Chains A and B, each alone.
Chain A
Amino acid sequence: MKLLTHNMLTSHVKGVTKGYPLLIKATEVKTNEVEFNPQFVSRMIPKLEWSALIQAAEELGHRQDLPGELVPDYEKDEEFLKRVHRVLLEVEVIEGFLQCPESGREFPITRGIPNMLLNEEEA
């Protein structure tokens, strides 16, 4: 699971109103090289919940000194974009759990695949 995906995932347990962002408890993390496309990164940033991304990166130990808030003109800062690229696409959680911040419900991650299926009672 890449952090870009994590940024869009949310807990949908019945009754939960603050199911985002999911907490990450990783037991195995890998990095994988992905071709860098600066345009991709700069256009993706506005679609992200930035603080959730920073929090997740922090949880995995890959924050790389990224700022807690976006600095203006980041589109032109290639160094910055490269670091964001790394955090969004190159860091992957292979084994672990995602946890609903409100209900505490855990969603396992195996082979990089988070299992978000709910039981009948939870849906």
Chain B
Amino acid sequence: MSSQEEGAADQDPNTEEPSSSSSSDNDVTTGDIITVTIGATVPTGFEHTAAEEVKEKIGVDARISKDRGRIYFPITTDKLFQVHLLRSVDNLFVVVEEYDHYQFKGSKEETLTELQQLASKLPWTNALEVWKLNRTLKKKKGYRKGGNGAKVKPNSVATNALVPDSELPQEISAAESQTKVESTPDVESCKHEAEEAAPQEMSAAESQTKVESTPDVESCTHQAEEAAPQAKVIKFRVTCNRAGDKHSFSSNEAARDFGGAVQEFFQWKADMTKFDIEVLLNIHNVEVVIGIALTEESLHRRNISHFGPTTLRSTLCYGMLRLCKPQVSDVILDPMCGTGAIPLEGAIEFNSSFYIAGDNYDMAVNRTVNNICHIQKRRVDKGSPSGLPIDTVRWDLCNLPMRTSSVDIIITDMPFGKRMGSRKKNWDLYPSCLREMARVCRPGTGKAVLLTQDKKCFSKAISRMGGLWRKLHTVWVNVGGLHAGVYLLKRTGAVFGQTPEDVYESRGTVNTQGDEKDVKELF
């Protein structure tokens, strides 16, 4: 797999990274392997499962930031492609610099000024190398992200006057030594680059408008593809996330001022929607992290092409699946599958188990099948066997047409009462479906992973089922702005039909007396 990196790094023997690079520790010359820190945003609550996945697939320890929903880990550039194999991350970025205890100045003015000054002092070199490398990886994988807009027409490129390569660096930036980085060395080695590199009339206005939207000259398969972006003015934006109550400034102000300084320093052009580089400024109390985004659009909706009203992010689905640790030949049921996001993620990522997705709603089962077909077509295009270990059934989850004790794991997103269903309905629904799920689930070894926002109703329902279900663990998550819980339950060894709970008919009203009293009243 290291051939992917060669494209960017090794084929430009004539160029040299300026030794005036400001990053102190790394002697970076293109072609060397460098170590950088990668930051990843993950669904809040699943930081530990994400760290586990990093350990498993990349072999390094990730640390979990105090800023919830973020993890950080080191990686060497020869292994960069591995970050794109991670299924629990929403977005990835390469860290430029981190400050654990940033001393903010007293006033807003001073703070913002300091942020501006920071822009020119940061060790951008390595991060920009990784950014470049990452683009190569994405192109080679055939990623086609919409974010960068229209394709470049070869004609429009050719009409611009050709500028000798040697002039590039000066054109690009005032602070030459720093910014040679992005006037890529790649350009020099590439024979065809003159054409693609053409729009070098760096003057802010004109030629930009024609070719700026994407550096991806998709028609060119030569390495010049990588050359193109660096040969003209880079477009960027700054995204600032700020959390904490002691800051004297807003995220907009920080983004604006920091962005202004970055623009000044690199002579890049600011563009909020069609950008090549997204600079991230993350401020969480006194923790400040500056990074460059490696993902253009969030990875979280990767499997789903047919959405429903409450479709879960694939990264959240993955986190839930990891929690229940699917084993080879496990039969995994999602009795309220909606658009099938959870079982589909499972069929792809934990494919030595078998998934049955079910719902009572015809649109839901149809969307599920559409989503499955979509993935299958993608696999056929890649030349893999298209079949997935998943099936879809239309059923009533309170009366499942399944053999008793035939299922190993039940995993589902239960109706929240806000986005779907209603609170009143949940009072009846939760006990009934928990019982039915207990019936089909294998006693002793079976498990359930259930996501719900209606924590009160769920806890109450579960507390009356101690004979069938035992709570093992709860992960608190954020789903579309709603605070929800993912409950990991173990099916007890009790055979269904013999515990008080399943003999007892669920009642419509909620009894606030203790459980034991309720149960005793029956006998």
CA distance A117 to B360 in the complex (A): 7
Whether the Cβ atoms of A116 and B393 lie closer than 8 Å is yes
Whether the Cβ atoms of A89 and B402 lie closer than 8 Å is no
**Which residues in chain A, 11-63, are within 8 Å of chain B measured between CB atoms?**
11-12, 20, 32-35, 37, 39-41, 43-44, 47, 49
Chain A, Cβ-Cβ closest to B327? A43
Chain B, Cβ-Cβ closest to A114? B393
Where chain B touches its partner, the secondary structure class is loop
CA distance A118 to B397 in the complex (A): 12
Chain B, Cβ-Cβ closest to A123? B399
Given known pairs A12-B400, A32-B386, A123-B399, the reply for A39 and B328 (CB within 8 Å) is: yes
**Which residues in chain B, 168-197, are within 8 Å of chain A measured between CB atoms?**
none
B476 interface contact, C-beta 8 A: no
Which residues of chain B have C-beta atoms less than 8 A from A81's C-beta? none
Whether the Cβ atoms of B351 and A111 lie closer than 8 Å is no
Q: A53 CB to closest chain B CB, in angstroms?
A: 13
A4 interface contact, C-beta 8 A: yes
Which residues of chain B have C-beta atoms less than 8 A from A111's C-beta? 366, 369
Whether the Cβ atoms of A12 and B392 lie closer than 8 Å is no
Whether the Cβ atoms of A117 and B352 lie closer than 8 Å is no
Given known pairs A37-B352, A39-B329, A43-B328, the reply for A9 and B393 (CB within 8 Å) is: yes
A70 interface contact, C-beta 8 A: no
Interface residues on A, range: 20 to 34
Whether the Cβ atoms of A8 and B331 lie closer than 8 Å is yes
CA distance A74 to B399 in the complex (A): 35
Whether the Cβ atoms of A113 and B402 lie closer than 8 Å is no
Whether the Cβ atoms of A89 and B329 lie closer than 8 Å is no
CA distance A44 to B400 in the complex (A): 21
Whether the Cβ atoms of A39 and B352 lie closer than 8 Å is yes
CA distance A117 to B396 in the complex (A): 6
Which residues of chain B have C-beta atoms less than 8 A from A33's C-beta? 385-387
Whether the Cβ atoms of B385 and A113 lie closer than 8 Å is no
Whether the Cβ atoms of B391 and A1 lie closer than 8 Å is yes
Residue contacts A-B, CB under 8 angstroms, 16 given: A8-B407, A9-B402, A10-B401, A10-B403, A12-B399, A32-B386, A34-B388, A34-B389, A37-B352, A39-B329, A40-B354, A49-B403, A89-B387, A112-B369, A114-B393, A116-B395
| 4 further interface pairs, Cβ-Cβ under 8 Å (given A8-B407, A41-B329) | A8-B403, A47-B331, A112-B392, A113-B393
The 9 A-B pairs with the shortest beta carbon distances in the complex, nearest first, are: A34-B387, A43-B329, A33-B385, A32-B387, A116-B401, A5-B391, A115-B394, A116-B395, A44-B329
